[in-house]
Homo-oligomer: A and B are copies of this chain.
Amino acid sequence: MKDNRTFKDEAYGAMARFVKALANPTRLEMIDLLRNGEKSVEEIARATATTVANASQHLQILKKLNLVRSRKAGTYVYYSLAGTEVQSLWQLLLKLAYAHVPELHRLMHNKRKSLPHLDERPDPDRFFLLDLRPEAEFHHHHLPGAHNIPFDQLRERLAEIPRDKPIVAYCRGPFCTWADKAVRILRKQGYEAYRLIQDEGFEG
């Protein structure tokens, strides 16, 4: 009878240890970030607004649970998602959080309201599909037919954006703000611009 409890404690404890690895805002952001391809510790730290030492610790927690992998190259260590099922897990958690946490629902709804957007992937022939992520992420993976102008180069490269089609902008994920800002900038310049909503569960 005592064994009974020991077994349950170990089993539910092991399960909780796994879920705990995901139960932190910084680590969730890291997973979201790494969906766009591998990154060095320093890049990850910068993107998640934390110190390198702190980022390293978080990454090791994710690594211990086989959620991320690391690859050493020179003095750099590059982290990436351990498998495609980690992507799916992240998306599922996002969808469920959206359904269960009213503040998140509200937050996304407000963002949505203040910005023209498209819910479906547009036909690349009728729209100019604009990817605002850094070049490396664009090369890692991008929507078919998309054109890459990293956000920090947008103002200098407006000439590359056609004026005879509506523009549809996207970036890293639902919480990435580059596309929002780009839409505002482009509209000020007279473009017909929309943000693309990519992830499931966000129909408001």
Contacts and interface: CB of A to CB of B under 8 A. Distances in A.
A17 interface: yes
Contact of A23 (B14, B23, B92, B100): B23
A85 B89 contact: no
A29 interface: yes
B22 A23 contact: yes
Interface string A98-109: 011101100110
Interface of A: 4-5, 7-20, 22-26, 28-29, 32, 49, 65-67, 85, 89, 92-94, 96-97, 99-101, 103-104, 107-108, 111, 174-175, 177
A29 B12 CA distance: 6
Contacts of A175: 7-8, 11-12
A15 B29 CA distance: 10
Given A4-B177, A10-B103, A10-B107, A25 B29 contact: no
A171 B128 CA distance: 57
Contact of A93 (B10, B19, B29, B85): B19
